[in-house]
Amino acid sequence: MNAIDDQGTGHLTDIPLIELGAAGPTALASVEPGRYADILHNGLAHYGPLALGLGDKLSRHWLERTDNPYREEIAAIAEAADRPGTYLLNLSYEWTCTTGAGPDSSGTGCRMLRTLDWPLSGLGRDVVVARQHTLAGETLNITWPGFVGVATAMAPGRFAAALNQPPMRRWTRSCWFDWLINRGRLASQRALPPPHLLRRVFDHCHDYAEARAMLTETPIAVPAFFTLTGLEPGQACVIERQEDQAAVHDGPGAITNHWLAFATPGRSRGIDSQGRLSMMRDVRDRAAGNFDWVKPPILNETTRLAVEANAATGTLRVLGLEADGVATRVFSLAPEPAVN
């Protein structure tokens, strides 16, 4: 059974298409205050008031110390909320994902299939598609009010891309000590966090080649996996990133949450990363385009988002999920038929 076999329609919400024009995440938080408040409420329930408050302070300090280019946007969103959570949630890089890239089964262009997993409630029902006009062109950002980075997006006529998280680096026998060591290493970094680099790519890159170069060559604050698709069936790659190194796998390809090229000791993330990778490799090129591929183990209790994107055709489909199942109706955007 896949994610939408028995979804029904009565209890489901619609995923809105928000027209932001040249405005950005600050405007999105103002346009959708209810969704933004729900995300902050669930962040408080997930982390607890002590951790949320401390995490907010540390995250704000790091953004200011590194002169992060998006810190003022985050500050404006946090000030409007008048409650903790905005800083921490913008730097909470704790999701796990399954992503595949290869020729579209329709025969036109290259397609990205993507799920995002995170136990934080609300990400499925509160997801939006924000249409923005950037310096490089139109971007459809699958995102949440209050989030200034990019995790999954499509730029019609340019490319589509998504971000996955690698394993947490292992230094000791203790998971908590490893977490502290990794956070300490992050404190010494001044480069962009991966979601901010992906935003820069969509804001400034005009085509697949420019996006690939920026994702491969730009230093980042913590390791990341990027999946990128272009306009031609063969334009696809998975990019494994260390802070200042990259391993590029030309597509068709897939990635979940374990290293493929680097022998970096790490603690596994998510549910059955190996199984999800194997399944994505199997279904990637033959999926029909109706979320028929969103099945266990790709589908699990932490899955919050499923996306199908083809930048060549401009086709985008998005589905929000929560722990108890499908949370939204399918958002579908397709190119308008030509008029003779």
Best mean pLDDT range from 52-61, 82-91, 258-267, 318-327: 318-327
The pLDDT of residue 339 is 47
With a cut of 80, say whether residue 335 has pLDDT above it: no
Q: Is the dihedral of CA 255, 40, 243, 270 positive or negative?
A: negative
With a cut of 70, say whether residue 337 has pLDDT above it: no
With a cut of 70, say whether residue 340 has pLDDT above it: no
The pLDDT of residue 58 is 86
CA 69 centroid distance within chain = 19
Dist. CA 11–CA 8, nearest whole Å: 8
The model carries a pTM of: 0.92
Element (H, E) at 141: strand 138-143
The pLDDT of residue 7 is 52
Over residues 150-182, the pLDDT tens digits come to 999 999 999 999 999 998 666 566 665 555 555
Q: Which token pair is 102?
A: 């290869």
Q: Are 319 and 7 in contact (CB under 8 A)?
A: no
Question: Is it true that the peptide bond before 195 is cis, omega within 30 degrees of 0?
Answer: no
User: From start to end of 10-107, where are the E strands?
Assistant: 17-21, 96-103
DSSP one-letter string for 244-305: S-EEEEESSEEE-SS-SS----EE--SS-HHHHHHHHHHHTTT--SSSTT--TTTS-TTEEE
Q: Is the dihedral of CA 2, 36, 21, 219 positive or negative?
A: negative
Q: What integer best gives the mean pLDDT of the chain?
A: 90
Dist. CA 304–CA 97, nearest whole Å: 10
With a cut of 90, say whether residue 130 has pLDDT above it: yes
Name residues whose C-beta falls within 8 Å of residue 148's C-beta, 6 or more positions apart in sequence: 24, 25, 70, 73, 74, 77, 90, 196, 199
- Which pLDDT band holds residue 47 (cuts at 50, 70, 90)? confident
- Which pLDDT band holds residue 251 (cuts at 50, 70, 90)? confident
